[in-house]
């Protein structure tokens, strides 16, 4: 249980950093190694800038930086919720950790990865 508090504290700290500082053009934020090496975007490219914009309620700007992140936010919130109540609601946990669910999510991410490089999203 302690590790959840540590992870939660780390997430809150990171969100504070992303709220206060805009990663766009800021050399202190890490650059994507995949983009630097290949010149192709990875599925997560733009996530830091999108999180900063989301925290300032600029949803369109966030969508511009990483549309999949914005689209999947409700799902990520649901997965967090399901994990939090794993012992009280084990059936929810089993459904979201079913191989079919994971394969669908993995496929969506792969399609997004391919499409954003082909169509320059």
Interface ranges with Zn ion (CB under 5 A): 32, 34-35, 42, 45
CB of 19 to Zn ion, least distance (A): 21
CB of 68 to Zn ion, least distance (A): 12
CB of 33 to Zn ion, least distance (A): 8
| Token representation of residue 121 | 């999203």
Nearest to Zn ion of 44, 79 (CB atom): 44
Please classify residue 54 by burial: count the beta carbons closer than 10 Å to its beta carbon, then call 0-12 exposed, 13-18 middle and 19+ buried. Answer: buried
**Residue sitting closest to Zn ion (CB):** 32
Nearest to Zn ion of 48, 82 (CB atom): 48
The residue among 54, 45, 29 whose CA lies nearest residue 120 is 45
- Residues 42, 119 contacting (CB under 8 angstroms): no
Nearest to Zn ion of 42, 86 (CB atom): 42
The residue among 75, 70, 112, 110 whose CA lies nearest residue 96 is 75
Nearest to Zn ion of 32, 73 (CB atom): 32
């Amino acid at each position: 249980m302690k590790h959840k508090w540590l992870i939660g504290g780390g997430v809150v700290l990171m969100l504070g950093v992303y709220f206060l500082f805009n990663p766009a053009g800021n050399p202190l934020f890490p650059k994507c190694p995949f983009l630097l090496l290949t010149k192709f975007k990875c599925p997560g490219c733009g996530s830091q800038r999108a999180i900063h914009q989301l925290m300032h309620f600029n949803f369109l700007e966030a969508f511009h930086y990483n549309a999949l992140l914005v689209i999947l936010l409700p799902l990520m919130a649901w997965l967090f919720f399901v994990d939090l109540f794993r012992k009280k609601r084990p059936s929810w946990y089993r459904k979201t950790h079913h191989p079919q669910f994971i394969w669908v999510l993995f496929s969506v991410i792969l399609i997004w990865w391919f499409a954003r490089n082909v169509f320059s999203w």
